[in-house]
Structure 1
Amino acid sequence: MPDTTPPPPPPPPLPPLPALDVQADRLIGLGVPELAGLTAEEVRSFAAEAAGEAGGSLLAVHPGALPASVLAPLLRHAGQPGFVVTDMPDVDLFAPTAVELPDGPLYLVDGVDRGDRMSNWSPDEALPALTAEGRTPLLLTEGMHWVLQTPDVLVRNHCFMTIGSRLRKANGSWDARTPAIWISNGTGRDGRARRDAPKVGWCWWNNRHTWLGFASTTGRRPAV
């Protein structure tokens, strides 16, 4: 059903991504290499190899090496750590769908966009539109890496879905839940202590929300 909430005011411009060497240092400082079975030198070397050609790209770790449940507590917004909603214990089973990832534990995501123009669209409406534009939706872990590097990409009333990750049920049909990242209001099961925290949750495939766009990319690639 359509979300009848009045549309929010226009968001501020998206913050630029840091240089790749800065992104690498950010991951290293958070202990990401150890969590993903990598070394700090491997992350720095990857960033250095790509630095000459990857202006504005996002450095991402393959979800097979660093799942969403491990990434979530590393996110920050307004000083609050991120979390996964309690009714998504299977978050790591949401896998890349119709998306080819480069081989290896590290790769680049180009031309990331929050998809604000598609706010109040359903995932079912947004996916073909993105495809027609030559874009593919972000994976949940890619969206989390984006927030990790530029926390200000999360703006209250201007957050995003990551419909490149979906869950196939045992009977072969798609789970109707669709991953998204937004800012907790500290209500309900979130708890007051989590107000303003980055929230990894879900919305229904056919529902619309005025406060959620559809994050996407122009493509993914290895360093060279």
Structure 2
Amino acid sequence: MPAFDAAAEFDRQVRTLNALGYPALSGRTEEQFAELVAPLRAEAVAHAGTPDEADAPYDPAATGRVPFVLVVTRALAPIERTMPLTALHGGKLPGFVDRTFEPGSLERFVATEEAEPPGRDGVHLLFDVERGEEFCGVVPNDAMAAVAERGRSLLTIEEGVALMTHAPRILVKNKCFSLGGSRSGDRRVPAIWISRKAPKLGWCWAGNPHTWLGMASAGARRV
């Protein structure tokens, strides 16, 4: 794997979003979308990691970590439209939202106060992202408490979709992840795992552990 280049990675993520049609989803041309995200490039380069981390091989599947991802929130593109744009690394089947999300329920899964996206433009950067496989087999409530004690933040659904969009290699068998930064006021915790050879956005109970489901978190959000 090549060493990580934050500037090149930011440009690649913008190209990925363009290729998937995110400008049109957000009601913008590619030029307008480029103008929207351009201010984040300098932030990505400045905060993507320490020099030692920047020199390390970039391999999300092996490390379970990504230096940063460019996130487009539901304020610009609905989850129902963005989740099907994801796929497993090397896979062809589109991601999907599980039918156990009853009609209208996704709108109720909103960011917690601690995971509230910064800014108001509908785009932000998420830094030092971990899929959190150390929490596989741990009760989600306990995993979320441990993440908070470390001063880290749980990922929202949109951030989980962004992670899958930009780093699909991070989702592998028995190392999937919950997204505790989006809650609906009940005991359900959203999660992304592999089903029918594709990424699936579903949910699990906050008190029920799963051996194949960790807890994703991030070090910071910036605009």
1:73 is matched with 84
Q: Which stretch of the first structure deviates more once superposed, 200-209 or 63-72?
A: 63-72
Q: CA deviation at 1:63?
A: 2.7
Contact 1:33–1:43 (8 Å) recurs in 2? no
Higher helix share: 2
1:7 is matched with none
2:98 is matched with 85
Residue 145 (str. 1) matches residue 162 (str. 2): yes
Contact 1:24–1:43 (8 Å) recurs in 2? no
Aligned equivalents of 2:192, 2:130: Cα separation in 1:
14
Q: Quick one: which amino acid aligns to residue 114 of structure 1?
A: R
Map 1:129-144 to 2 at 5 A.
129-144=146-161
Aligned equivalents of 1:28, 1:122: Cα separation in 2:
38
Aligned equivalents of 2:96, 2:135: Cα separation in 1:
25
Aligned equivalents of 1:52, 1:87: Cα separation in 2:
39
Aligned length: 192
Q: CA deviation at 1:175?
A: 1.7
Q: How large is the RMSD of aligned CA atoms in angstroms?
A: 2.0
Structure 1, residues 116-164: CA drift from partner, whole Å, max 9, x if none? Answer: 1111112211111101101011001101100111111110111000010
What TM-score do the two structures reach when normalised by structure 1? 0.80
Aligned equivalents of 2:118, 2:188: Cα separation in 1:
26
Residue 23 (str. 1) matches residue 13 (str. 2): yes
Q: CA deviation at 1:30?
A: 0.5
- Where do 5+ consecutive residues of structure 1 fail to align? 1-14, 168-173, 185-194
1:61 is matched with 72
What TM-score do the two structures reach when normalised by structure 2? 0.80
Q: CA deviation at 1:177?
A: 1.6
1:178 is matched with 189
Query: Structure 1 residues 29 and 75, CA, compared in 2 at 3 Å: closer, same or farther?
Result: same
1:52 is matched with 45
Residue 214 (str. 1) matches residue 193 (str. 2): no
Structure 1, residues 87-118: CA drift from partner, whole Å, max 9, x if none? Answer: 20322321001223211221110110011111
Residue 161 (str. 1) matches residue 205 (str. 2): no
1:201 is matched with 202
Contact 1:72–1:200 (8 Å) recurs in 2? yes
In the alignment, which of 108, 122, 128 is matched to residue 139 of structure 2?
Answer: 122
Report SS of the residue matched to 2:39.
Answer: helix
Identical columns (%): 37
Contact 2:44–2:125 (8 Å) recurs in 1? no
- Greater relative contact order, per chain length (Cα 8 Å cut-off, separation 6+): 1
Aligned equivalents of 1:16, 1:76: Cα separation in 2:
24
Report SS of the residue matched to 2:189.
Answer: strand
Residue 107 (str. 1) matches residue 127 (str. 2): no
Query: Structure 1 residues 21 and 175, CA, compared in 2 at 3 Å: closer, same or farther?
Result: same
1:32 is matched with 22
Q: CA deviation at 1:62?
A: 2.3
